[in-house]
Structure 1
């Protein structure tokens, strides 16, 4: 019986997680698999019910649109519902329980850990599960103010209150304020989704633009930022960072991060 983990979502064909985990499993010579599983929203409860009885299943990563809904089907022993309010990883505990957790926050923050964000102003696009992880991380480093751009302004404003962050919620298309960091935590700009149309001219010259989208890797947002010579962080940085934390939970082994350059070359082919 070969142990395995997988990634679930709707859609799921775009996911690069099997490449990442497969690379690490091969590098460490671990006899396990990492799969891709298409799970539409109406099948989410049945998915977890089936995996609950599969002893080979080590857990799963979760992508759009299930990061909040999945909380209903797993145990929340770490208080993720009250803190981040979304999960991106489920693991099987030693007692057989399915436990939800979130590695997105750590994966998001790792590439910008060197920035001085305490008291700074940040802009976040989106108010879904990924945005929750971003806001959680920003709240922990003492961000001064956050402007959230989202279609549903009330939902965005509620997130600011949930995380105790000062700021404002404005509709998509509103002019950007000057800010030290801009993060696209939405699906806008992703293959199969509407484009993200922003005017970056209000950002200062030392601003950092961070796009969590990784398909395509070179988004219009990042291209526009580079045209202005702004520092950028692409979606692979967050994807690999959160995957590394999940890999250790699934397979009880640290991934070989000294081979990140080799992995990145594989992912951008």
Structure 2
């Protein structure tokens, strides 16, 4: 029986088991996917013992994405560029890893707004954390001409933008209002709008009518940002699709089947988020 898991500290909140166990059942695979609570500082030893523990691989959630990188033998270019890994698998005796957040975000955009690359010359990314770094990387490598990183602390935005000189630039959140009329794609990577957090307050009336609005937050399924954007007629992209699409590569590595992100899966995870 093939086994995989997600590791984190904490890890009880992770919805990965819902996704992977749904696919295991759908494709008739003899396998399982669970959770492992791993303390910071012990990630390397856990990964080195994956085979002895009976695992084919694992997902990595916060706060272990950077620590895990040091334990791996091979990493993909995205994980190397971002300094963070979220998917690990065994290849013979070698520990391999990749960062699937970036392709997960892009696949969600592709599915929801298939023509987004043609429509996007200038993207605005709100936030300057790990998620923002990954999304800026994905946008730049998808051919978006200009990416503006907006953050309350300008120095953090400048640190992200400096990775892509000539393609990315930085702006303080206080000045975002004047930027919105030039944005083709607006992406929130902050926790604002998440359940239990303050709403993201933006003057969306300044956005051009055909601008796309995305939010990587998926609890709630539709943040106040997306509710307002949709009411104004904008194409919107929710965060749950990113969570589902980023799970695909790991499942394929562990279980040998490339799974589909279906409406049934979306509804299953959405029901869990909404407590139904």
**TM-score, with length taken from structure 2:** 0.84
Residue equivalent to 2:211: 207
Residue equivalent to 2:101: 104
Which stretch of structure 1 is more off in the superposition, 238-247 or 58-67? 58-67
1:215-226 map, 5 Å: 215-226=219-230
| Of 221, 231, 256, the match for 1:227 | 231
5+ residue gaps, structure 2? 272-276
CA distance in 1, matches of 2:121, 2:4: 38
Distance 1:193 1:157, change over 3 A: same
Distance 1:196 1:42, change over 3 A: farther
CA distance in 1, matches of 2:36, 2:175: 37
Which stretch of structure 1 is more off in the superposition, 202-211 or 72-81? 72-81
- For the aligned residue pairs, the C-alpha RMSD in angstroms reads 2.4
Distance 1:105 1:213, change over 3 A: same
Residues 86 and 132 of structure 1 are in contact (CA less than 8 Å); yes or no, is this contact kept in structure 2?
no
Matched, 1:89 2:90: no
Distance 1:82 1:21, change over 3 A: closer
5+ residue gaps, structure 1? none
Which stretch of structure 1 is more off in the superposition, 226-235 or 76-85? 76-85
CA distance in 1, matches of 2:225, 2:150: 15
How many Å apart are 1:52 and its aligned residue? 5.7
Residues 120 and 144 of structure 1 are in contact (CA less than 8 Å); yes or no, is this contact kept in structure 2?
yes
| Of 257, 262, 265, the match for 2:264 | 262
Distance 1:11 1:197, change over 3 A: farther
Distance 1:45 1:231, change over 3 A: same
Q: How many residues align?
A: 264
Residues 184 and 211 of structure 2 are in contact (CA less than 8 Å); yes or no, is this contact kept in structure 1?
yes
Residue equivalent to 2:158: 157
Distance 1:226 1:151, change over 3 A: same
CA distance in 1, matches of 2:94, 2:196: 35
How many Å apart are 1:105 and its aligned residue? 1.4
Deviation string for 1:61-120 (max 9, x for gaps)? 2233333332222234434454333222111122x2222211111111123332135871
Residue equivalent to 1:143: 144
Residues 104 and 238 of structure 1 are in contact (CA less than 8 Å); yes or no, is this contact kept in structure 2?
yes
**TM-score, with length taken from structure 1:** 0.86
SS of alignment partner, residue 106 of structure 1: helix
How many Å apart are 1:170 and its aligned residue? 2.6
Distance 1:65 1:195, change over 3 A: farther
How many Å apart are 1:262 and its aligned residue? 1.1
How many Å apart are 1:37 and its aligned residue? 2.9
Residue equivalent to 1:247: 251
Distance 1:188 1:139, change over 3 A: same
Distance 1:104 1:154, change over 3 A: same
